[in-house]
Amino acid sequence: MVLFTIAEPGQGRARQVIRRKRAVGIDLGTTNSLVAVAKEGKAHVIPDVHERLLLPSVVQYRSDGSLLVGDDAVESTASGTTISSSKRLMGRGLADIDYQVPYQLRQPASGGMVEIVTANGAVSPVQVAADILKTLATRAESALGGELDGVVITVPAYFDEAQRQATRAAARIAGLNVLRLLNEPTAAAVAYGLDQRLQGTLMIYDLGGGTFDVSLMRLHNGVFEVLAIGGNSALGGDDFDRAIVDWLLRQSGRSAPDADTLRQLLRKTRAAKHALTTADSSVVELDDWRGTLTRDTLHGLIDAYIDTTLRACRRVLKDAQLEAADITDVVLVGGSTRTPRVQQKVKEFFGREPLCSIDPDQVVALGAALQADVLAGNKYGDAALLLDVIPLSLGIETMGGLMEKIVPRNSTIPVVRAQEFTTYKDGQTAMSIHVFQGERELCGDNRSLARFELRGIPPMVAGAARIKVTFQVDADGLLQVQAEEVSSGIRSSVVVKPSFGLDEQDIAGMIKASIDSAADDKAKRSLREKQVEAQRHLAALQAALGQDGNSLLTAEERQQLEQAMAKLQQAAAGDDAALIERLTDALNAQSRDYAGRRMDAGIRAALAGQKLDVVGDNL
């Protein structure tokens, strides 16, 4: 083949020694998010200053424009709007949301993606994701000692184009360079394949808070081939919780609760569910009502959801023309696979004990980090190669609103497919190409991605023109569609940005809004440094207080110190670098006396022959 001899791979590439690229993997989860980094085929999750690995995917927006992310938002007692599980809203319109959320939604006048009403105005789910990404990036940058060169962000395999574009937009707003959006189950397989040297045919069963994904993969000598994927982008552990909440409401004879009660109910539900992993029943109290949730009742409430996931597994097997017996290993991913009932039913279905040797909460981020390292060009030995597929069929609308599939789902990418169409009217000089994604026969039931026109077709009788429509999906999963009239050579093309996502103007607006001095990278970096410094001080002080705060400080002194800490904590979550610096200095001044007392205590202890390590490094 002539095609194969044009150039040798690697030819002409510069062979200079360059700085190792700072690339991380981010699992932007429905419930929790993580950031991990890899080196030489080994990955680890980057903790925050409190050694916490998981960042709750929760953001609190407050009326003064400030915001809290993660545990700070979860624990916040201040007033504001707290948003959780907003990943389910990514790339979705109000009409798509057919379940209750503990905050108010609205459809923007311009149509498109749903917005969340907060104490600080309407916020897009993209903005929420961007705020979570920013927090993780800051964490990674302070751990790696500099700005990130690139990130791999994971998304559910079943995310459609609108949801993927929304995720990319969030990354842009957060100022991150996206090397790749990686499917979550694929990332998990990479982690198992590289870390545990697993080989064979793997079924990755990924049940998260809001999404279910299943991927069938073949791992062979460092080549990871996705055979088929399936799932449901609106099914997850949250549904278990909601089913239990509904049951509690029915049992206690309550009607539709307000947002606060709903949140409280969810907390109790999760506690009860957790208790049932070891106990046979759990008592739930709601004001004056008291009921018992048994394990059997729980199974009755959630089995239907689990059965739906198993049917998706069967379909994926069928797509790959394999049987359950062909599977070498079943891998469990996602926090909701900790539910014993899920493990039990998966085991029954596949007739084998599922694997969960890598923490199901971490495995996706670890795999993403490994892939980020490869894509950033940090080469080592035999880097893994991932052969991924597209999750949903791509096609165009033909006469009668029918969907003509051009690239079927589960096609390995990159892929280029062309198909010819023709005109249906005499003298027709233009043709509208409407691109859709989905499996249904009628375009109206699928998701519209883009629309463009091919103009200047030479007038001919109906059916004489030959319009070649070419779909190209690159290794990043980005779709480009081109239409060409073959006889005249006129052509037109579009890089698909789904009409359902945000338009460029929206994104540009958010980027501008999110970074006060948009063009000023220096200011941005200085802000991050100040945030990190503040967090370091807070952590050190917190640790010191835990050791000897009560013995070395009066109750009043301690209270004053803690007030100053809370103030700084709040400021550090915001964008005001000057304020963070001022409060950090103030806290330093205020804690100087305490540091002195600790030093004295340390010296006394040393003189008494005891260890010195109680003296904090930073005090």
Partner 1 sequence: MPVTDYFAILGVPASSEIDRARLDAQYRSLQAQWHPDRFVTASEAERRQALQQASLINDAYQMLKQPLRRAEHLLELKDTDAAVHQARKLEPAFLLHQLEQREELERLGQRRDQAAFARLRRDTETELQLQWRDFAATVQQQDWCSARLSLQKLQFLHKLQEELDHLEDRWLDTLDN
Contacts of residue 392, Cβ cutoff 8 Å, sequence gap at least 6: 158, 160, 161, 409, 437, 438, 439
Binds partner 1 by CB under 8 A, chosen from 74, 279, 283, 385:
385
Rounded to the nearest 5 degrees, what angle is found at the Cα of 393, between the Cα atoms of 389 and 394? 110
Number of residues that bind partner 1 (CB under 8 A): 36
Q: CB 318: neighbour CB atoms within 10 A? A: 12
Q: Which is nearer to partner 1, 318 or 604 (CB)?
A: 318
Judge contact between 106 and 117, C-beta under 8 A.
Answer: yes
Q: Which is nearer to partner 1, 142 or 371 (CB)?
A: 371
Contact between 390 and partner 1 per CB under 8 A: no
Only segment of 136-144, 250-258, 325-333, 414-422 that touches partner 1 (CB under 8 A)? 414-422
Judge contact between 130 and 138, C-beta under 8 A.
Answer: no
Contact between 411 and partner 1 per CB under 8 A: yes
Rounded Cα–Cα distance for residues 300 and 160 (Å): 31
The interface with partner 1 within residues 244-303 (CB under 8 A) comprises none
DSSP for residue 363 = H
Helix axes 237-251, 259-275, angle to 10 degrees: 110
Only segment of 85-93, 152-160, 181-189, 369-377 that touches partner 1 (CB under 8 A)? 369-377
Contact between 4 and partner 1 per CB under 8 A: yes
Does the annotation mark 184 as catalytic? yes
Pairing of β 200-207 and β 212-220: antiparallel
Contact between 41 and partner 1 per CB under 8 A: no
Buried b (16+ CB within 10 A) or exposed e, 106-140: eeeeeebbbbbebbbeebbbbbbbbbbbbbbbbbb
Only segment of 44-52, 85-93, 313-321, 392-400 that touches partner 1 (CB under 8 A)? 313-321
Binds partner 1 by CB under 8 A, chosen from 41, 257, 414, 574:
414
Judge contact between 215 and 187, C-beta under 8 A.
Answer: no
Contact between 12 and partner 1 per CB under 8 A: yes
Catalytic residue selected from 206, 241, 484, 575: 206
Q: Which has the closest alpha carbon to 209: 305, 120, 281, 135? A: 305
- Give the x/- contact pattern for partner 1 in 415-454, rule: CB under 8 A: xx--------------------------------------
Phi, psi of 40 (to 5 degrees): 50, 40
**Closest separation between CB of residue 148 and partner 1, Å?**
16
Does the annotation mark 27 as catalytic? yes
The interface with partner 1 within residues 161-190 (CB under 8 A) comprises none
Judge contact between 21 and 378, C-beta under 8 A.
Answer: yes
**Closest separation between CB of residue 414 and partner 1, Å?**
5
Give kind and range of the element (H or E) at residue 118. Answer: strand 115-118
Does the annotation mark 425 as catalytic? no
Q: Is 605 helix (H, G, I), strand (E, B) or coil?
A: helix
Q: Which is nearer to partner 1, 79 or 487 (CB)?
A: 487
Q: Which is nearer to partner 1, 149 or 184 (CB)?
A: 149
Judge contact between 148 and 174, C-beta under 8 A.
Answer: no
Binds partner 1 by CB under 8 A, chosen from 49, 117, 322, 387:
387
The interface with partner 1 within residues 455-484 (CB under 8 A) comprises 472, 474-475
Q: Which is nearer to partner 1, 12 or 145 (CB)?
A: 12
Contact between 2 and partner 1 per CB under 8 A: no
Only segment of 350-358, 410-418, 512-520, 523-531 that touches partner 1 (CB under 8 A)? 410-418
Does the annotation mark 562 as catalytic? no
Contact between 308 and partner 1 per CB under 8 A: yes
Contact between 17 and partner 1 per CB under 8 A: no
Only segment of 253-261, 360-368, 385-393, 607-615 that touches partner 1 (CB under 8 A)? 385-393
Only segment of 119-127, 136-144, 368-376, 547-555 that touches partner 1 (CB under 8 A)? 368-376
Only segment of 54-62, 290-298, 346-354, 372-380 that touches partner 1 (CB under 8 A)? 372-380
Binds partner 1 by CB under 8 A, chosen from 223, 271, 442, 461:
223
Contact between 399 and partner 1 per CB under 8 A: no
Judge contact between 370 and 41, C-beta under 8 A.
Answer: yes
Judge contact between 33 and 136, C-beta under 8 A.
Answer: yes
Rounded to the nearest 5 degrees, what angle is found at the Cα of 338, between the Cα atoms of 337 and 339? 85
Q: Which is nearer to partner 1, 101 or 478 (CB)?
A: 478
10 Å CB burial of residue 367 (0-12, 13-18, 19+) is buried
**Closest separation between CB of residue 210 and partner 1, Å?**
18
Q: CB 576: neighbour CB atoms within 10 A? A: 16
What sign has the CA pseudo-torsion 520, 525, 528, 534?
negative
Q: Which ranges in 351-490 belong to alpha helices (H)?
A: 363-375
The site for partner 1 (CB under 8 A) is made up of: 1, 3-4, 6-7, 9-13, 220-223, 225, 308, 311, 314-315, 318, 374-377, 385-387, 411-416, 472, 474-475
Give me the active site residues, please: 27, 87, 184, 206
